[in-house]
Structure 1
């Protein structure tokens, strides 16, 4: 448990990039006074003194673990086929339900590039058992809000609802997950919609540059796969591509059903009813004509991701037919950090935007608590921030940068955290002509955190950052939907949930020495010793960027990068 970190941090303090497709149903408003009065006695709300009944599933067929070291106890049950059920007994009038699939863009290859983007848009459409009209009618009858979102490492189906509607909602989720119709008409509709979404992303540097940052940092592998479907793949993608992706990755051992505010044993019974008969496919073998054809396609489309991101037309292996993904290779392939530089010259931009990043830490690393604290300590924001309590006005990037340089529009730290790697750094934007000065300011602020003396981290700012981190986690967990995702993702990644009390205690133990050590570890490229990454810096810019060529010399000036000596 010492290596686990609440995904409340990963989700809100260390946000992983994600995109969501909301299916907004009428807000839960059909609860009358009688229902409000009787909610606490509902079958899916367990009173504190109530004794939990044994699940109707034979005890020999499941494995159940209970975490009672927290103020809110969590329970996890593993069904015989590998599906895991996780619940927390949180009192209230509403419940939340989610199904989390260990899939996403990092598991795509040339034959399935962009499928997870389209797949989350096809959620809650027609199935083999329901027409699209029937699906909409059933969702309206259940009430609440439903959504599907995809990230690099997970596809999430979630709902906020009344407790008594949980059985119906889980049946709907199981249907859309296991039996999607994926018709040509629905796919064409999502092609048009996704095309508009991609155009919107490209029109906003603050949205597309984090994507480009990942593409450069993990060139041609795993976390570098784009969240957005490449433009050329929108036209060549077929319903068979999508169905093959589902059959490959939607396996019972890769699924977690999570619920908050519901009785555990009842949720286990329902999960067994709707997912218990799922069979895991035999692992795909990475050999044969299919794999050979895919390999040839890789060679023909080397750099295809970059062509897609720049909107250029390129050939797509998806057009050559449906190829079965190599499950063994893709499911075990570690993230390979490469680093690199990508500068997009664009004199139409009112500001020059710049990202400077290094390989960060995975969610399993013991130092993740110190790195999360460092991200809060550096903070940052926009020059037009309203300020006020909790807005980061006393963070380093506000105090040292935004309050001193009126030519800087924004400056903030970022931390993307994943199961086996991460990205940490600073992004900023400035008026054209100041880009080289912006680069130097960013690198200087990173270097200051590695010092033990003048300019280094003071005890007062460390205490403030730790308090802010703890309060941010606790405040976010006030939301049942955040609590739900925190539970589901932790069980998906770790197999259990870290009690929030343990998490806060680990944050409190972070010292100034820990902060300096972790800063040197990240900004000196030392993470590569564990991950096999390059240790190089990643630099991405858009605007007037021609003066940023040779930016590595600035890092050498301040002693950062893989050649750093402390």
Structure 2
């Protein structure tokens, strides 16, 4: 999935890339059929399909197709309806019965990195790494995986700034077993000391893999949030700092779970399953309180942090030498920078405009396999990557949450061009307030609409869309609502929103070698404050390369 589309769905559904679509941002919980794993079908299910007793004629085929047309159309209309129920303990149950042979069932929890106030930073990362381990009913991970595989299922866990998701995709004939396994994973997990030790090693491996990667985008994004929301909510780290790994023990994990893994903060969501069987399974397996609420951890639980995100702006710099592995692979020595502005929340009237603006800015790497559909006509391609041979990458992003949002451009270039790169990015941010060509606006709108609709054809994406919308607003708005909102956006809406963002204090991060060549924060503030100076500085960059 393209990164621009991922980021639009992210903003649309609450600040996180669609789950279950593949690494690195999200590991897939695609349907069992699509994954290549066998789909389990019982003999009783096969007997439901009657054998053909008489050959079909052309006339009978046409009449049968005509008879089926109306019910299919009616079902297509009804399958966008989301049914919502609630258990006595506060857990919400949501379902959408769609056409298809598979289902995706999972739990969306209002817990994640932004809720780490009062805890050692990184505890949510360790909790994510310990998912699908031993539980009350399954003595070890292998027993649990065997149960899921017998249902023809696959599974995944992901966390974003404001939510943690546990999901499975399998054959809906095994709905009861799937919900039972989910309840064990979410509410009856042991989180014993050995699993905490193993999770620490997984966290260290994550850091090693990210630092060896040619693209440190996850690290840069975490730095950008730490600069934008200093020491509060969205600024808390997604990845556990290495200095904190050994200080997080089992008691702190259980205290975190007792604070945030509570039924009233959970949504059990099923796509491709009828509502009543899902409610019955929820009553059977989720009606009791989670295990950690009954013990000493429950007594030590603190009040959940419901504070509003405070955008501060600021700077973060991390010097990172060019590794020997990168040199051996002949990867270029690059400085990665990020420049962000406060955007808007999910409920803000400018939210859809921010998504269109993000799509219009677009961007990507200096090499892109593909044609116009891959974003080659976006502004960061035509105005930055195509004009400056030394720019390795330039990518816009827009993340929206319940109370704030962040619009940013991340880019990379050799250290000698880092100052010029900052000039160019500042110029592009200010250029969003100029007259925007009509064809660019229309292209961004159509591309956004088509990508949204195409991705919502995938069951796992619908699962997260439903779960996140209900988690943030208590309801799920259908795709037609969003396509109509996108269609109403005009050029003036984009310019007005860009002017509004430029009033905020910029967030600036730099990561890589030779950071002495990168401009300091005071210089970035000066450029951002004076749009004329920024454009003049960027123009001088253009003149030097002609």
TM range (shorter): 0.7 to 0.9
Establish whether residue 512 from structure 1 lines up as the match of residue 512 from structure 2. no
Q: Is the 8 A contact 2:136 2:188 kept in 1?
A: yes
Structure 1 match to 2:526: 553
Structure 2 match to 1:445: 428
Structure 2 match to 1:93: 101
Establish whether residue 460 from structure 1 lines up as the match of residue 429 from structure 2. no
Q: Which of 153, 160, 165 matches 1:151?
A: 160
Structure 2 residue matching 1:138: 3-state secondary structure: helix
- Pick closer, same or farther for the CA change 1:558–1:323 going to 2, 3 Å: farther
Q: CA deviation at 1:322?
A: 12
Q: Which of 243, 257, 274 matches 1:263?
A: 274
C-alpha distance after superposition, 1:289-313 (max 9, x if no partner): xxxxxxxxxxxxxxxxxxxxxxxxx
Q: Is the 8 A contact 1:383 1:402 kept in 2?
A: yes
Q: Which of 521, 534, 540 matches 2:500?
A: 521
Establish whether residue 542 from structure 1 lines up as the match of residue 478 from structure 2. no
- Pick closer, same or farther for the CA change 1:335–1:29 going to 2, 3 Å: same
Q: CA deviation at 1:389?
A: 3.7
Q: CA deviation at 1:23?
A: 9.1
How far, CA to CA, are the matches of 1:129 and 1:404 in structure 2? 60
Q: Which of 209, 213, 220 matches 1:209?
A: 220
Q: Which of 494, 511, 515 matches 2:473?
A: 494
- Pick closer, same or farther for the CA change 1:172–1:346 going to 2, 3 Å: closer
How far, CA to CA, are the matches of 1:263 and 1:322 in structure 2? 34
Q: Is the 8 A contact 2:363 2:394 kept in 1?
A: yes
C-alpha distance after superposition, 1:136-182 (max 9, x if no partner): 22122222111111111111011111011111011011011111111
C-alpha distance after superposition, 1:372-397 (max 9, x if no partner): 00000011111111131421111111
C-alpha distance after superposition, 1:59-80 (max 9, x if no partner): xxxxxxxxx9876211111222
Q: Which of 74, 86, 94 matches 1:78?
A: 86
Establish whether residue 234 from structure 1 lines up as the match of residue 245 from structure 2. yes
- Pick closer, same or farther for the CA change 1:22–1:448 going to 2, 3 Å: closer
C-alpha distance after superposition, 1:516-541 (max 9, x if no partner): 1111111222xxxxxxxxxx100001
Structure 1 match to 2:318: 344
Report matched runs for 1:105-504 at 5 Å.
Answer: 105-132=113-140, 133-204=142-213, 205-278=216-289, 324=300, 326-328=302-304, 330=305, 332-346=306-320, 348=322, 350-451=333-434, 456-504=435-483
C-alpha distance after superposition, 1:323-352 (max 9, x if no partner): 946425x1x211111110123344537012
How far, CA to CA, are the matches of 2:125 and 2:260 in structure 1? 14
Moved more, 198-207 or 515-524: 198-207
Structure 1 residue matching 2:88: 3-state secondary structure: coil
Q: Any unmatched runs of 5+ in structure 1? A: 1-5, 42-46, 51-67, 283-320, 526-535, 562-566
Q: CA deviation at 1:183?
A: 1.4
- TM-score, length of structure 1 as denominator length: 0.79
- Pick closer, same or farther for the CA change 1:432–1:263 going to 2, 3 Å: same
Q: CA deviation at 1:81?
A: 2.2
Structure 1 match to 2:329: none
Structure 2 residue matching 1:461: 3-state secondary structure: helix
- TM-score, length of structure 2 as denominator length: 0.81
How far, CA to CA, are the matches of 1:209 and 1:323 in structure 2? 38
More helix as a share of residues: 2
- Pick closer, same or farther for the CA change 1:469–1:30 going to 2, 3 Å: closer
C-alpha RMSD of matched pairs (Å): 3.2
How far, CA to CA, are the matches of 1:399 and 1:82 in structure 2? 51
C-alpha distance after superposition, 1:211-241 (max 9, x if no partner): 1111111111111111111223221221111
Q: Is the 8 A contact 1:105 1:151 kept in 2?
A: yes
How far, CA to CA, are the matches of 1:487 and 1:188 in structure 2? 35
How far, CA to CA, are the matches of 2:377 and 2:208 in structure 1? 36
C-alpha distance after superposition, 1:445-488 (max 9, x if no partner): 1111112xxxx211111111000000111111111000111111
How far, CA to CA, are the matches of 2:29 and 2:452 in structure 1? 27
Structure 2 residue matching 1:463: 3-state secondary structure: helix
- Pick closer, same or farther for the CA change 1:79–1:13 going to 2, 3 Å: closer
- Pick closer, same or farther for the CA change 1:263–1:483 going to 2, 3 Å: same
How far, CA to CA, are the matches of 1:462 and 1:72 in structure 2? 29
Q: Is the 8 A contact 2:11 2:401 kept in 1?
A: no
How far, CA to CA, are the matches of 1:86 and 1:14 in structure 2? 17
Q: Any unmatched runs of 5+ in structure 2? A: 1-5, 20-24, 51-67, 323-331, 535-546
- Pick closer, same or farther for the CA change 1:23–1:464 going to 2, 3 Å: closer
- Pick closer, same or farther for the CA change 1:323–1:264 going to 2, 3 Å: closer
How far, CA to CA, are the matches of 1:126 and 1:98 in structure 2? 18
Q: CA deviation at 1:367?
A: 1.0
- Pick closer, same or farther for the CA change 1:39–1:346 going to 2, 3 Å: farther
Q: CA deviation at 1:272?
A: 1.5
Structure 2 residue matching 1:327: 3-state secondary structure: coil
How far, CA to CA, are the matches of 1:468 and 1:28 in structure 2? 33
Q: CA deviation at 1:422?
A: 1.1
Structure 2 match to 1:289: none
Structure 1 residue matching 2:416: 3-state secondary structure: coil
C-alpha distance after superposition, 1:256-287 (max 9, x if no partner): 011111101111111121112338999xxxxx
